[in-house]
Amino acid sequence: MQHIHNYYNLYVDLAVEARDLVRGSKDQEIPGVEEKVEQMEQIKINTIIIKDPAAEKTMGRPVGTYVTIESPPLKIRDPYVRDEIIAAMKKSMSLLIGDRLQPGQTVLLVGLGNWRATPDALGPKFIEYSPITRHYHQHAPEALVEGMRPVCGIAPGVLGITGLETFEVIKGIVEKIQPSLLVVVDALAAQNVERIGTTIQMSNTGIQPGAGVGNARHALTEQVLGIPVIAIGCPTIVNAAVIANQAVHSYCVDAGITYQETRALNMVREVLSHFGGSLAVTPKEIDEIIENSAHIISMGVACSLFPDISTEQLELYAT
Amino acid sequence: MQHIHNYYNLYVDLAVEARDLVRGSKDQEIPGVEEKVEQMEQIKINTIIIKDPAAEKTMGRPVGTYVTIESPPLKIRDPYVRDEIIAAMKKSMSLLIGDRLQPGQTVLLVGLGNWRATPDALGPKFIEYSPITRHYHQHAPEALVEGMRPVCGIAPGVLGITGLETFEVIKGIVEKIQPSLLVVVDALAAQNVERIGTTIQMSNTGIQPGAGVGNARHALTEQVLGIPVIAIGCPTIVNAAVIANQAVHSYCVDAGITYQETRALNMVREVLSHFGGSLAVTPKEIDEIIENSAHIISMGVACSLFPDISTEQLELYAT
Amino acid sequence: MQHIHNYYNLYVDLAVEARDLVRGSKDQEIPGVEEKVEQMEQIKINTIIIKDPAAEKTMGRPVGTYVTIESPPLKIRDPYVRDEIIAAMKKSMSLLIGDRLQPGQTVLLVGLGNWRATPDALGPKFIEYSPITRHYHQHAPEALVEGMRPVCGIAPGVLGITGLETFEVIKGIVEKIQPSLLVVVDALAAQNVERIGTTIQMSNTGIQPGAGVGNARHALTEQVLGIPVIAIGCPTIVNAAVIANQAVHSYCVDAGITYQETRALNMVREVLSHFGGSLAVTPKEIDEIIENSAHIISMGVACSLFPDISTEQLELYAT
Amino acid sequence: MQHIHNYYNLYVDLAVEARDLVRGSKDQEIPGVEEKVEQMEQIKINTIIIKDPAAEKTMGRPVGTYVTIESPPLKIRDPYVRDEIIAAMKKSMSLLIGDRLQPGQTVLLVGLGNWRATPDALGPKFIEYSPITRHYHQHAPEALVEGMRPVCGIAPGVLGITGLETFEVIKGIVEKIQPSLLVVVDALAAQNVERIGTTIQMSNTGIQPGAGVGNARHALTEQVLGIPVIAIGCPTIVNAAVIANQAVHSYCVDAGITYQETRALNMVREVLSHFGGSLAVTPKEIDEIIENSAHIISMGVACSLFPDISTEQLELYAT
């Protein structure tokens, strides 16, 4: 959760929310942005492709493909919807990786975030629930099932606890073990509480520090690391500032008065000022939401990386 | 955190906040309410006494004494302010208990809340950090220091996890072990984010379900349990509804337009509707705040119950 | 884990181990003890019935029925063996309860042990993973599935942390809520490391303090509580003394010299003396073993208490 | 805890125990080994210097200085002994580092072990309790106290969970951030249960894989990493094999029969065979022991790295 760790902003983590903001009330196409929606039985898959630098600027996020899987039942422990989501993730991973990963090549999983703060523990828990196999290749190959590639994983912790920039740690490890693909999972901030625990975003653009603030050299991207980077995220919080601002906006609309954005943001800042703007809004079911999301994402990723091996078999390799 | 567990409301847990709401902008006395403020070096102690049924109705909380200790540095792990707060708690406990507890009498500590949800774990952590001695009296009296009374403690969990009402569990235990005093600690909801981790409220009124909703027989009060009940609480969350409503109010005042409360609450409800109104706003430092508050409260209570024994000695008896 | 908490002994928790000790090398029947073995595909079910006071004395445990389910794959997270074990637990619960529980009657689950010490956390985790429904009956009956009885649960903690005897807490709650059945889960100590995480014992005798030491009034039994008590346990540790003693015994046998029990126990005591004899031997996979066992036991119990409801549905009600 | 993770052996982690084994019952000097003992009020400091390759071979551990701080009260939370231990660690760190660390130079702390397995969580908890300052140098220098050097820290996890060799992760990070000193903390296995929680070993030799098995290139040593490495460890377990073997030995001595080592080890292996020899013996107070040890070690290290800053001040920087 790079953004909420560091900055006081209303930055938008989800591409689908950025698109809604750009389009506003006009329901028209955005130049350079291609979009596709598939409605399955219990889930909806939305694919947004940002195709050129102009669209990159409009959308406030880099050229690439963003797949969003939405499913309200994801939030509860629903065994019926699980298989559908895993299948959708498998298909999306295929689309995002293309032919860039060969059988037998090594994959490094990275779980960003802080395992000691519940809404930020999605990444560390993803590592905990993922099947890890690389050490068997080196120390006990007989324990592997035919066709298992080497997969390793790390949760590097957050800057405030380690004093280390995430990209320093990851770049160091990538140089040492030379994986062919990086899959990085992080908790996201949403604009809408309804998205908490119901949305998974996957993209082939890696992870960047907050717009306008960050340093391109500090990103987890193919440009910096030299290998493809798949980023996966789930909204787990809404910034309290977003909610307060929405309430002001709804009030103005309902009362038929003009909403003045600058004034609204100033008032919100004042109300929240005592904790440096870092107030996170989470539902009280957040512990359970994180558990469910981490489990499903780890299985979705594992099924993509080990396409010929059953979910039951893979769970035996989870650490 | 009885209120945020169960009800969608803007209920006020802190007596000092209730007083501010009742007084509004008029800085005048409330009939039947006595108030005293002491300013120490780093902390401020506010004592509110609600004296009669009329004041009980105005203030929305029962007749009794409410002591509030406020100290911004409580939020950080500041060893300098710690001793001053413990001394203030010891003095306040004396005031609240009076001569109703004799040396050698048994005390039962109760930590309300859910240890699996960080902002609600204050009560269970209070039990964890409190010196417990009752079992030594029965099984190893030689391990006790001269003058140690029997103290026991339980964190009964929350209704949603146990299926048991707190008062059922506590009343059952009280009848079995017959303590002379109950000290119950719970996380509170505040109106103001500034209060999170900076305020301790102590009262001799016990704990009641939310105003207008509750059932008097379900309370943890002297009336129900037959022994004095000291309630201690710390604000650890602000309801997201409160913050959103404040933002609307500030906006209206700043823009010079009339604030319409019903309209504002309706808009807030709509914005927050997807999680049943139970959205809690917490600072990201909440884990550390809970640790610090629980430690200080457990030591403040212990120093009151074992007045002749040093803090260092007492820490050896913490479980 | 009543025994390892309190006493330095070589007490035997499992009835099948007690039987082996009584029989020694002679493979003959024990008077007053009836035994039946069923071999399923991946599990073995052993039923021992202690029928009269004489057998009670020989076996060192009370008259009643003891069912032991043994399955080496229980130790790993094996989805294939799970359903077989749950079915076996459902059948055994039926045998142990008989016609003493009617549809709609309330059940209280009790998880003994200390959630802060991994090998002792089986009971608390059992409560965590069990479907709890009693509060829906009182506050939200519309959330219940047809035919769901009221089930509630508590993990009362251990004497060293609460200062409260378990039977005091449970008897108090039983008197308040008047359930028709108690199901109590606890970690056990085994004689053999092979049993850790591979054995589940179920009995209708309740739970008693260690033989010769305990006080009958302090037990969790039907005699004390007035309702049937089903006790379920899994071995999670072996006392280090048992292992050291076994090594001495094996050595003597292998070297062809006489094993002198008193001398052996004295030497073992000396080697272990620095921690009061409470040294527990656990495999390093103990965290995972506890997770798996707690999950399976909670589902096995839930399927018995809600026989018409599917496992998937029940998991939605786990807290 | 490199050794117990990977190998079935009776390897000796502590230099003082290795010395005892080498000397046997003869209380004479070992050639090439220099030793000094200081008895303070509540603690004993033992310094062993292995001076040449011959002594390295005899002692089974590399040339270097090993300081052992022993104090029975370390095991309990005793505020009186704490300051004495911190002072001893500060002095020992000075001896081990010499003039190789200049003011302002960066230090990397490494906490080995698995935070999900209690006796192995010493390293991760050391990182958790250590003051971390490097990120303030880069992002908020105004938050630093005069003279604070950059300190960062990481708990890289264990091979079985990450699939990454520790030295790969650490070497990668060292190359990226180029610290001037590495301090690595790990849980150790002892020969004697009395040492659990009462002994701290500090050395300037780094950390090596188990004797005879390891690969020198995989070590965390100055030779591999290019910077001085201080290794700090606390015994937190005794291998069950050690205890069983001791019991056999004591029995033989007591019974006046010859102890045959090969036979004894074979019998021990048979008794423990069902868990691959990885059975750890821990006292049930292990959670508390780990907490105390991690706290004291983190403060001892911090006081060495920030010699002019008070303990109280440093605790404010602990994460």
Nearest to C278 among D252, D267, D284 (CB): D284
Question: What does the pLDDT look like over C95-115, one tens digit per residue?
Answer: 999 999 999 999 999 999 988
Residues C271-295, mean pLDDT to the nearest whole number: 79
**Closest approach of chain C CAs to the CA of D274, in angstroms?**
6
Give residue B210's pLDDT. 45
Task: Check residue B143 and give its pLDDT.
Answer: 82
pLDDT value for C130: 95
Query: Look-up: residue for tokens 């102009």?
Result: A54
Residues of C in contact with B139 (CB under 8 A): 159
- In whole angstroms, give the CA distance from residue A188 to residue D123: 29
d(CA D122, CA D9): 21
Cβ distance of B164 and C173 shorter than 8 Å: yes
Mean pLDDT of C224-228: 95
Inter-residue contact A280 to A239 (CB < 8 Å): yes
Most D CBs within 10 A among A120, A133, A135, hence the mutation to make, goes to A135
pLDDT tens digit string along B25-70?
Answer: 667 788 999 999 999 888 999 999 999 999 998 888 889 999 999 9
Rounded to the nearest angstrom, the minimum Cα separation between C309 and chain D is 34
The residues that bridge with C231 in the sheet, in sequence order, are C184, C203
Mean pLDDT by 10 residues, chain A (319 residues): 36 79 77 93 93 91 93 72 92 95 97 86 94 91 88 93 93 96 94 87 84 60 95 90 89 94 90 70 80 93 94 80
Chain mean pLDDT for chain C: 86
User: Which region holds residue A205: left if phi is over 0, alpha if psi is between -120 and 50, else beta?
Assistant: alpha
Residue-wise pLDDT tens digits, B94-136 = 999 999 999 999 999 999 998 877 888 999 999 999 999 999 9
The verdict on a CB contact (< 8 Å) between C319 and B160 is yes
In this complex, the residue of A263, A270, A271 whose CB is nearest that of residue B255 is A263
| pLDDT band with cut points at 50, 70 and 90 for residue D203 | very high
Q: Which residues of A touch B274 (CB under 8 A)?
A: 193-194
Top residue of A4, A250, A251 to mutate, by most chain B CBs within 10 Å, is A251
Q: Give the model's pLDDT for residue B44.
A: 94
Of all residues in chain B, the percent with pLDDT exceeding 70 is 89
Give the gap in angstroms from C-alpha D143 to the nearest C-alpha of chain B. 14
The per-residue pLDDT for B234 is 93
CB nearest to D135's CB, from A135, A155, A160: A160
Reported pTM: 0.83
Residues of chain A in contact with residue D177, where contact means CB-CB under 8 angstroms, are 164, 168
| Architecture of the domain made up of A2-315 | 3-Layer(aba) Sandwich (3.40)
pLDDT at A11: 52
Are B109 and B152 spatial neighbours (Cβ–Cβ below 8 Å)?
yes
Chain C nearest-CA residue for D248 = C248
The verdict on a CB contact (< 8 Å) between A315 and C77 is yes
pLDDT of D62 over the 60 cut: yes
| Closest residue of chain D to A137, computed from CA coordinates | D163
CB B236 within 8 A of CB B289: yes
- Provide the residue ranges of all domains of chain B, joining segments of one domain with +: 2-315
Q: Which chains touch B (3 or more CB pairs under 8 A)?
A: A, C, D
Chain A residue whose CA is closest to B287? A117
* Mean pLDDT of the region D98-115: 95
CA–CA gap between residue C216 and residue C223 (Å, rounded)? 9
**Percent of chain D whose predicted confidence (pLDDT) is above 70:** 89
The pLDDT of residue A2 is 42
Chain C residues lying within 8 Å of B156, measured CB to CB:
154
> What is the DSSP annotation of chain B?
-HHHHH--S-----HHHHHHHHHTT---PPTTEEEEEEE-SS-EEEEEEE-SHHHHHHHTS-SEEEEEEE-GGGGTT-HHHHHHHHHHHHHHHHHHHTT---TT--EEEEE-S-TTSGGG-HHHHHHHHSB--HHHHHH-GGGS-TTPPPEEEE----HHHHSS-HHHHHHHHHHHH--SEEEEEEEEEESSGGGTTTEEEEESS-B-PSTTT--GGGSBSHHHHSS-EEEEEEEEEEEHHHHHHHHHHHHHHHHT----HHHHHHHHHHHHGGGTT-EEEEETTHHHHHHHHHHHHHHHHHHHHSTTS-HHHHHTTB-
CB contact under 8 A, B279 and A281: yes
Average pLDDT, chain B: 86
Mean pLDDT of D141-165: 91
Average pLDDT over residues C259-270: 91
Residues ≥6 apart with Cβ < 8 Å to C164: B134, B135, B152, B153, B154, B173, B177, C156, C157
| Nearest C-alpha in D relative to B76 | D316
Is the pLDDT score of B269 beyond 80?
yes
Mean pLDDT of all residues in D260-289: 81
The tens digit of pLDDT for each residue in A283-310 reads 777 878 898 899 999 999 999 999 999 8
Report CB contact under 8 Å: D247, C244: yes
Collect all residues of chain B within an 8 Å Cβ-Cβ radius of residue A4.
284
Q: Residue C208: which pLDDT band, with cuts at 50, 70 and 90?
A: confident
Q: Which residues of D touch C267 (CB under 8 A)?
A: 247, 250-251, 254
Which residue among D76, D77, D315 places its CB closest to the CB of B79?
Answer: D315
SS3 state of residue C247 = helix
Interface contact flag, C318 A77, Cβ < 8 Å: yes
Mutate to test the interface with B, among A196, A271, A272, A288 (most CBs of B within 10 A): A271
- What is the complex's ipTM, to 2 decimals? 0.88
> Closest approach of chain C CAs to the CA of B21, in angstroms?
31
Q: Out of C132, C151, C173, name the one closest to residue B161 (CB).
A: C132
pLDDT grade, residue D64 (50/70/90)? very high
pLDDT above 90: residue C77: no
Contact D153 A169 (CB under 8 A): no
What DSSP element (H or E) covers A276?
none
pLDDT of residue A41: 86
| Contacts (Cβ under 8 Å, ≥6 apart) of D25 | none
Chain D residues touching residue A135 (CB < 8 angstroms): 159-160, 163-165
Q: Given A77, A312, A318, which is nearest C79 (Cβ)?
A: A312
C interface with B, Cβ–Cβ < 8 A, is 116, 127-128, 132-135, 139, 150-157, 159-165, 168-169, 171-177, 319
